[in-house]
Amino acid sequence: MANSGRMHAGLAVSLASVSFVLPIVSEPAAASLADSGPEEIVVTARKRSESVVDVPAAVTALSRDDLQRVAANALEDITGRVPNLTIFAGSAQSNAASIFIRGIGQRDSLQTFESGVGLYVDGVYMSRMQGSMMRLFDIERLEVLRGPQGTLYGKNTIGGAVNVVTRDPFGGGGFAEVSFGSYDEIIGSLYAAVPLSGDTVAVSVAARYVNRDGFYTDPATGVDYQDDNTFSGRLKLAFRPSEAVSVTLAADMLDIDVNQYVGRAEDSLFVVDLVNGPITVRERPGPFDGTVRTSIDPENGQTNTHWGLSGTLDWDVSDTLALKSITAYRHMNPVQWLDADGSELEIADVWATWVHEQWSQELQLTITQDRWDMVLGAFYMTEESVAVQATFLDDYLLVDGAPLSFTRPGNDIQDVENFAFFGHADIELTDRLSLALGARWSRDEKDFVRTSETFTGGALTASISFDETRDWSAFTPSATLDYRLSDDSHIYASASRGFRSGGYNGRVSGPDEQLEFDPEYVWSYEAGWKGRAIGGRLTYGFAAFYNDYSDYQARIAVAIDPNDLSAGFNFPTVNAAALEIYGLEAEVSYEDGPWSLWGNLGLLDASYSDFTDATGDRTDEDPIRSPDVTLNVGASYLLDLDGRGTLRLTADLNYVSSYYTSVDNSDALFEDGYVLGGAHAAWQDEAAKWSVRAGIRNVFDTAYQVDAFEFRTLGNAQTAFYAAPRTWYLAIGRVF
């Protein structure tokens, strides 16, 4: 079993809003076959409690039951349940969530890049990819908002937001479960919430340990990769000294210790002989067969200890005024080895470690009146990242057949200060027509210090050192008109502006390389129709959108001298002139007695309308991870076993059309599209105490690319990373 000898111990405490690992193991609810209406999911996407159907925006909400039906153990497992959403492990790191909504996200995990999609846990913004691939545990619900965000809460995000809402300790209850599965997987999960002092003090504890062998094997060594060895936990302490005041304190911890997250070289590789010229050392492979190669010592894997503290205050000052304060601190220390060329050769191997600290403070004042309400807020966040890394290319350069060592160590320090003021007002113009107006002013200041040296053949051949400071600010308004066609349906239209700040290229290694890149902007337009029918058993939502991006940020690979491969390479981030994205989305669900049916469809057309860089004209090419079609359908049936409990049977299908995993639209880093299937069964005894779950994920054992490294100017390195193969699980749980 992977890393089975390592003992994990840790205290996890999660302040009302922070936790990175939250596996969804909820107490099975005793469902009644007589219930004919669906569960009404109440969300707070607009800082008020309302049904997701009534929100005039493209919002998907998933409850605890929704997640458990499809055995969603990690954040990436919700991908099929939301149109135009993909979540995969990114940048060759199993614990880094690369989230894309409507073709926009964060491709590179360097600390110098900003996320395109915001991830929040109980209101706390998670600023970095590392450690964000949550194993869903004590979740109350998930909310996915599509389109620019920032006039209601938190950090400005240009593509959307994923809000994770964890369970309230005052809700009580407890559950323990042990699960076994493919690749010697063992998962132990525990959740308990108890009152300490009547209705005024309550505490909850959540913990989970996962150990699994890797999915893919290096045949030369027999070592398996893409394994899992993770402990996570959280403690929440909630106070309600009065009906008007509540305070929640928390702390959480994630500890991960795994092998490398290894991909496969998808095209031929070459090295450069300074005497004889380029030499092909590896041919283009055939279809993926589950094997991977790496030149990095198997003992050099990936670790990350990530923990956080937070405190949330909710105070109903009066019947019309409410104040909310969210204070949070996060700290992490990833250490990782990355094989960027995906082969047994040392053409592009990287070691990196960094320490990251994040402080954030948010204030929200909500004003409620008879025909209007308003949220006024302020957000402040500071970050400090100190990184040390080294690149090893000892097999890339030769002198008449003899290897010439090449090493490039570097050190980075980045300090970020972000503050913003925002406001959002909802105004009832008539009994049927309402208007929402929002605005945000954001300012980011970044100080970036970098030193880098290059050693060729053991001699110092290049060095750089710089210290730069820049700031960017933006005004991002929004407006929405919402018209109620009836008590059960409404239509809406909206326009909003989004902003992603500029930054620095964290891979600069020479004085002539491009250091900075500018902010990215979008105007987003959306129209939708949402409602209920058939006595509330059928809910539906349809949306059409158009996004007009300017100065879109894209990382590319550039040869310093295309005619001399030994001259070197760089990987700047440039601002594409324009990107247009438009599409349609549909979500439908139906519940009637024992049946639950759902389906969603996302249609997307994304292409650069004007993009020319040092490598040529990329106009009309596709941005990464922007499939034309995403489709998910599913059905669940609850069977009464006549005094022997209940049995729920669930099946779902997920289709994703073709997409590129590379900015330069390489045919080697191209996924043709795929179909995934899932089948799940869950039994619960008559007393709703014991439960047994079993199922199969990726029923058709589909192999498909989810992410890639694209360094074509460095030995033609094009490395793809593949998702999990078919797996099974069997879990036994007990409510207490």
Q: What is the pTM of this model?
A: 0.90
Other C-beta atoms lying within 10 Å of the C-beta of residue 694: 18
Q: Whole-angstrom Cα distance, residue 291 to residue 289?
A: 6
Q: What are the b/e assignments for 455-489, b being 16+ CB within 10 Å?
A: bbeeeeeeebeeeeebebebebebebbbebeeebe
- Residues 6 or more apart whose CB falls under 8 angstroms from that of 499 comprise 148, 150, 156, 158, 442, 474, 476, 519, 520, 521, 522
Q: Say what the pLDDT of residue 19 is.
A: 35
497 alpha-carbon distance from chain centroid: 22
pLDDT digits (tens, 9 = 90+) for 690-733: 999 999 999 999 999 999 988 888 899 999 999 999 999 999 99
What is the percentage of the chain residues whose pLDDT exceeds 90? 73
Give, as one character, the DSSP assignment of residue 729: E
Token code pair at residue 655: 């289709």
DSSP letter (8 states) at residue 318: S
Residue 496 inside a domain? The answer is yes
User: Rounded to whole angstroms, how far apart are CA atoms 410 and 506?
Assistant: 10
Element (H, E) at 95: none
Q: What's the confidence (pLDDT) of residue 568?
A: 62
CA atoms within 13 A on the CB side of 363: 7
The token pair at 3 is 């890393």
Residue 13 lies in a domain: no
How many residues appear in the chain? Answer: 736
Per-residue pLDDT, 48: 65
Give me the residues of the chain with pLDDT under 50, please: 1-26, 28-37
> Is 358 in a helix, a strand, or coil?
strand
Q: Give CA 539 to chain center in angstroms.
A: 27
Written as six digits, the tokens of 467 are 């210290």
690 has which bridge partners?
734
The pLDDT of residue 45 is 60
Q: Tell me the pLDDT tens digit for each residue of 182-211.
A: 999 999 999 999 999 989 999 999 999 999
- Residue-wise pLDDT for 273-305, tens only, equals 999 989 999 999 999 999 999 999 999 999 999
Which of 207, 210, 213 is closest to 187 using CA atoms? 210
Q: Which domain holds residue 652?
A: 42-735
Euclidean distance between CA atoms 628 and 671, whole angstroms = 12
Contact 704, 726 (CB under 8 A): no
pLDDT on residue 508:
80
DSSP string over 389-402:
EEEE-TTTEEETTE
Per the domain annotation, does 580 fall within a domain? Answer: yes
Please name which of 663, 726, 721, 707 lies closest in space to residue 288, comparing C-alpha atoms: 721
- In our burial notation (b when 16+ CB lie closer than 10 A, e otherwise), range 199-217 reads eebbbbbbbbbbbbbbbbb
Say what the pLDDT of residue 38 is. Answer: 54
Confirm whether 15 is domain-assigned.
Answer: no
CB 679 within 8 A of CB 697: no
Domain contains 244: yes
Structurally, the chain folds into a number of domains equal to 1
Stretch (H or E) spanning 66: helix 64-69
In this structure, is residue 59 part of a structural domain?
A: yes
- Say which CATH number the domain at 399 has: 2.40.170.20
Buried b (16+ CB within 10 A) or exposed e, 305-335: bbbbbbbbbbeeeeeeebebebbbbbebbbb
The Cα 52–Cα 67 span in angstroms is 16
Give pLDDT, residue 719.
95
- Answer for the pair 453, 510: CB distance below 8 angstroms, yes or no: no
Looking only at the bridges linking them, the beta strands covering 433-456 and 459-475 are antiparallel
* Strand duo 520-533 + 478-486: pairing: unpaired
| Three-state secondary structure call for residue 442 | strand
Q: What's the one-letter identity of residue 27? A: E
Asked if 360 and 124 touch (Cβ cutoff 8 Å), the reply is yes
Task: Specify the pLDDT at position 46.
Answer: 64
Round the CA-based radius of gyration of the chain to a whole number and report it.
Answer: 25
Q: What span, in angstroms and rounded, lies between the C-alpha atoms of 155 and 164?
A: 15
Q: Which residues contact 13 (CB under 8 A, 6 or more apart)?
A: 233, 234, 235, 236, 237, 249, 250, 251, 252, 253, 309
What pLDDT score was predicted for residue 18?
A: 33
pLDDT of residue 544: 98
Residue 119 token pair: 């991830």
- Neighbouring CB atoms inside 10 A of 716's CB total 22
CA distances from 731 to 197, 648, 681, 701 (A): 34, 14, 11, 21
Domain assignment of residue 23, yes or no:
no
CB 123 within 8 A of CB 377: no
d(CA 214, CA 195): 41
Distances in Å between the Cα of 188 and the Cα atoms of 257, 472, 563 are: 17, 46, 57
